[in-house]
Structure 1
Amino acid sequence: MTLTLLCLPGDGIGPEIMAATRDTVAAVCASHGVAVALPEAEIGFAALAAAGTTIAKAVIDAARAADGVILGPVSHNAYPPVAEGGRNPSGVLRRELGLFANIRPARSHSAVPTPTGAAVDLVVVRENLEGFYADRNMHEGGGEVMPVPGVALAMRRITAENSRNIARAGYALAAREGRGKVALIHKANVMRLSDGLFLDCCRAVARDYPQIETTEVLVDAAAALLVRDPGAFDVLIATNMFGDILSDLAAELAGGLGLAASLNHGDTHAVAQAQHGSAPDLAGQDVANPASLIGSAAMLLAHLGHAGPAASLQDALARALRDPATRTSDLGGALGTRAFADTLCTLISEST
């Protein structure tokens, strides 16, 4: 049976790093005898020009029908208003596919320098469908309003259902990976109702995992502790905005966003997505680091039950990053996007 992964290149450096990712995924699947199809569809500015919307219904339907999706970065801050077709494809897919969990590991590589010199090995498990994110926390309409000039209001939605879902995802990941500690990230000393509800739901799930040590950490304290001692954390479970901010901090402490893989998943669908943006200033120059999207694709393969190809792809990435000669320029190497992908394909073929 053929594994179908829909590829959505996106904007800026998206087409370049997607081409690199498609080639490496095809190579690693072939090396393990896994039949894979990697069809592409347009999103972002290309789709806006062709279809009047940055993500068409046909693309959403194709994503729903595929086994998984590999999503390139998008320049959604530069899109026109939603009424003019400028929807954020990432937010749309998360909502339409029920992707309540955003899994963001931060792992340093021994040969890649980190800002503090400390080793990092943790996972941020971020709620994906609500919180302060105005494009996905309302059934209809936005989560921000300006009732009168000079006054802007943002609404934060926290539900018991999604709080339980993200807690279950986080604790299940900790148990599966043998991680002994979970930190519940909150600001319940100020947002007593919303973060209080989130904490109550997480505490209920924690009772099903007595073997895992649970702590509750204020978000500002968590940010400080991440910088001072990232080894204090194993798994961090957080609401949407807190998880977004802390995962970017953790990624930088682990070596940079160019290495920061992530996976969005729900009960029935999954989308691989790099943590970084579209970097339009680097587009078309063959200098973008595709490691984040490739690592995200490896996470997707593992999530879909293809542990062998996932492990081989992660191993090839680790081997390439050990040697400055086989890194991209952002990590002190000399390889471009295309050459880095070719190197990975060679390493994959040599290991089989």
Structure 2
Amino acid sequence: MNHHVTLIPGEGIGPEVSTATRRILEASGVEIEWEEISGRADESADQSQRVNQAAIDSVRRNRVALKGPMATAIAGGAPSVNVALRKSLDLYANLRPVKNIPGVKSHFEDVDLIIVRENTEDLYSGLEHEVVPGVVESLKIITEKASTRIARFAFDYARRHGRKKVHAIHKANIMKLSDGLFLRSVRTVAAQFPEIQYRELIVDNACMQIVMDPLQFDVLLLPNLYGDVMSDLAAGLVGGLGVVPSANIGDHCAMFEAVHGTAPDIAGKGLANPTALLMSALLMLDYLGERAAAERIEAALLKTYRDGIFTTKDVGGKANTEQFTNAVLDALAATTSK
């Protein structure tokens, strides 16, 4: 089957890791027709809306996108293109599997958890304004509709993948109305999945618990802002953002992306590690029904890490991007020929 996929290479190291990932996907035999397009509007566009409308249209048309990292200005500048893409496409579920990779040093072994983050509202939406000079108001929006559908996504995922527990993470002891609504919505959904253990944790306690014993968790379900913080925290348990995937999924389309930075200090030097984007592409293949190809590529990737000869500097190796990519390709060819 020939799949049509939007490719948003991203910025900084984005084009390098996108090219490497594309080479590996094409070597797997999966037929993909790529529509490559920039995620950011050109300089002539309205500065308040920097996302490229053509990219949004492309993803809507193709229903699937693979996206490299894109920069977001801190404490100023235009709104986040990353957030704008997710909101414009109503990609309400952020899926972040967190699992150890052989050969990558970490403080824990056998970590295998799933973070499900609501992706469209809450404080992370950036709805804020200056009331008077020196006073800024930021709006935390929580709705029953969004809370219910992300809860259903999490429990459906747990059921389909044989997961046993879902923890809802909140701060309803203080934000009794907003986080309280989130919890009530989740509880209603949880009652429809009696085979799955349901637990709740206050977010600060959850952060402490996950760094003490991540093995106690299976699926974590969070509102947008807490999910952003805890998903990065969890990535640190297994080696960082460079070795974990991410998916943004809606009812009509999905975007799979690397969530690490653009690394401008090494951009163009051929040193970037494409693992995060490649692993995100494996989630994409699974979404497209190409599970066999995803398993072959994953086996090749893990063999490359187990061998430890051609790993990149960020995970303690000495290989450059091309050497790492070629090692995965060689392992894939060996796997395919068996």
TM-score by length of 1: 0.91
Percentage of matched positions with identical amino acids? 40
1:51 deviates by 6.0
Deviations 1:211-260 (A, max 9, x none): 11110001011100111000010000000010111110110101211101
Specify which of 49, 53, 68 is matched with residue 64 of structure 2.
Answer: 68
1:78 deviates by 6.4
Aligned-pair Cα RMSD in Å: 1.7
Partners of 1:5 and 1:66 within 8 A in 2: yes
Residue of structure 1 equivalent to 2:179 = 195
Matched, 1:98 2:82: no
- Matches of 2:220 and 2:52 in 1, distance apart? 34
Residue of structure 2 equivalent to 1:139 = none
Partners of 1:22 and 1:38 within 8 A in 2: no
Matched, 1:308 2:292: yes
Residue of structure 1 equivalent to 2:12 = 12
- Matches of 2:10 and 2:102 in 1, distance apart? 32
- Matches of 2:75 and 2:56 in 1, distance apart? 19
Deviations 1:17-73 (A, max 9, x none): 111111111112x1xxx32112211233xx424767743222211111114101111
Partners of 1:79 and 1:87 within 8 A in 2: no
Residue of structure 2 equivalent to 1:55 = 51
Which residues of 2 match residues 1-352 of structure 1 at below 5 A?
A: 1-28=1-28, 30=29, 34-44=30-40, 47-49=41-43, 54-77=50-73, 81=77, 86-114=78-106, 116-135=107-126, 143-352=127-336
- Matches of 2:82 and 2:121 in 1, distance apart? 14
Partners of 1:134 and 1:154 within 8 A in 2: no
1:182 deviates by 0.6
Partners of 2:83 and 2:125 within 8 A in 1: no
Partners of 2:102 and 2:305 within 8 A in 1: no
Structure 2 CA distance for partners of 1:192 and 1:80, relative to 1, 3 Å: closer
Partners of 1:13 and 1:279 within 8 A in 2: yes
TM-score by length of 2: 0.94
1:80 deviates by 7.5
- Matches of 1:187 and 1:181 in 2, distance apart? 20
- Matches of 1:39 and 1:257 in 2, distance apart? 26
Which residue identity lines up with residue 113 of structure 1 in the other structure? K
Partners of 1:185 and 1:237 within 8 A in 2: yes
- Matches of 1:41 and 1:110 in 2, distance apart? 34
State how many pairs are aligned: 334
Which is worse superposed, 254-263 or 338-347? 338-347
Q: For structure 2, which runs of at least 5 residues remain unmatched after alignment?
A: none
- Matches of 1:78 and 1:252 in 2, distance apart? 22
